[in-house]
Structure formats: structure tokens, C-alpha cells
């Protein structure tokens, strides 16, 4: 939460913007951060295809590192 507040003060996240965070370490296969992750947001749904595409490109390059 301190990091998010710092981002708000710096103007990177607007004061009225509601955020949710879910950070997963794919190498260690564990969730690192879960903040309001059960709250749906339109932005998250719009970003998922780009994250998936990046993963698939990396998977093609190195299937052992990106199973």
C-alpha cells in the first residue's frame, strides 16, 4: 500500500483511481502480491491478451524456462 500511495503522490496513479494488484512469480510458481484482486476492472481485461502474447513468444524461444 505504501508503494501505491507513493505512486499517487507522484501522479502516476490518480487519487480517484481504484486499483487491484496480482503479482505472480512464474519461475517460483507462487503469488507474491494480492491486493483487491477479486474486484473486476476493465483495464485488466484489456491488458491480459498482451501479457499472454508476450508469454507465448518467450515460451517459443525457451520452453524450459517458460513452461
pLDDT value, residue 44? 65
Pairing status of strand 30-35 against strand 21-25: antiparallel
Distances from the Cα of 66 to the Cα of 18, 27, 43, angstroms:
32, 8, 25
For the chain, give every domain's residue range: 2-61
Each residue of 3-52: pLDDT tens digit? 888 988 999 888 888 888 889 999 999 999 998 888 887 776 778 889 89
pLDDT value, residue 27? 92
pTM above 0.85, yes or no: no
- The contacts of residue 24 (CB under 8 Å, 6+ apart) are 30, 31, 32
Amino acid at each position: 500500500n505504501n508503494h501505491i500511495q507513493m505512486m499517487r503522490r507522484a501522479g502516476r496513479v490518480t487519487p480517484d483511481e481504484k486499483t487491484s494488484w496480482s503479482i505472480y512469480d512464474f519461475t517460483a510458481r507462487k503469488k507474491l502480491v494480492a491486493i483487491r484482486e477479486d474486484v473486476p476492472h476493465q483495464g485488466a481485461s484489456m491488458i491480459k491478451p498482451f501479457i499472454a502474447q508476450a508469454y507465448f513468444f518467450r515460451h517459443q524461444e525457451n520452453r524450459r524456462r517458460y513452461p
